[in-house]
Amino acid sequence: MAHRLQMRLLTWDVKDTLLRLRHPLGEEYATKARAHGLEVEPSALEQGFRQAYRAQSHSFPNYGLSHGLTSRQWWLDVVLQTFHLAGVQDAQAVAPIAEELYDDFSRPCTWQVLDGAEDTLRECRSRGLRLAVISNFDQRLEGILGGLGLREHFDFVLTSEAAGWPKPDPRIFQEALRLAHMEPVVTAHVGDNYLCDYQGPRAVGMHSFLVVDPQALDPVVRDSVPKEHILPSLAHLLPALDCLEGSSPGL
Which of 156, 160, 205 is closest to 11 using CA atoms? 156
Q: So what's the pLDDT on residue 125?
A: 97
Pick the CATH number of 9-18+114-246 from 3.30.230.70, 3.40.50.1000, 3.40.50.2000, 3.40.50.300: 3.40.50.1000
Amino acid letter for position 74 = W
Residue pair 12/18 in contact by the 8 Å Cβ criterion: yes
What are phi and psi for residue 215, nearest 5 degrees?
Answer: -70, -20
Which pLDDT score, from 0 to 100, does residue 251 have?
A: 45
Query: What is the distance between the alpha carbons of residues 120 and 118, in angstroms, rounded to a whole number?
Result: 5
Cβ distance 164 to 67 under 8 Å?
Answer: no
- How does DSSP assign 114-181, residue by residue? PTTHHHHHHHHHHTT-EEEEEES--TTHHHHHHHTT-GGG-S-EEEHHHHS--TT-HHHHHHHHHHHT
Q: What pTM was estimated for this model as a whole?
A: 0.93
Using alpha carbons only, how large is the chain's radius of gyration in Å?
A: 19
Angle at 138 between CA 133 and CA 141, to 5 degrees: 55
| Beta-strand pair 157-159/130-135 | parallel
Q: Are 176 and 11 in contact (CB under 8 A)?
A: yes
- pLDDT in single tens digits along all 251 residues of the chain: 455 679 999 999 999 999 999 999 999 999 999 999 999 999 999 999 999 999 999 999 999 999 999 999 999 999 999 999 999 999 999 999 999 999 999 999 999 999 999 999 999 999 999 999 999 999 999 999 999 999 999 999 999 999 999 999 999 999 999 999 999 999 999 999 999 999 999 999 999 999 999 998 999 999 999 999 999 999 999 999 999 988 654 44
The class level of CATH for 22-110 reads: mainly alpha
Q: Where are the domains of the chain?
A: 9-18+114-246, 22-110
- d(C-alpha 117, C-alpha 245), whole Å: 22
pLDDT (0 to 100) of residue 1: 43
- Do 155 and 33 contact (CB within 8 A), yes or no? no
* Nearest alpha-carbon partner for 79 in 114, 116, 36: 36
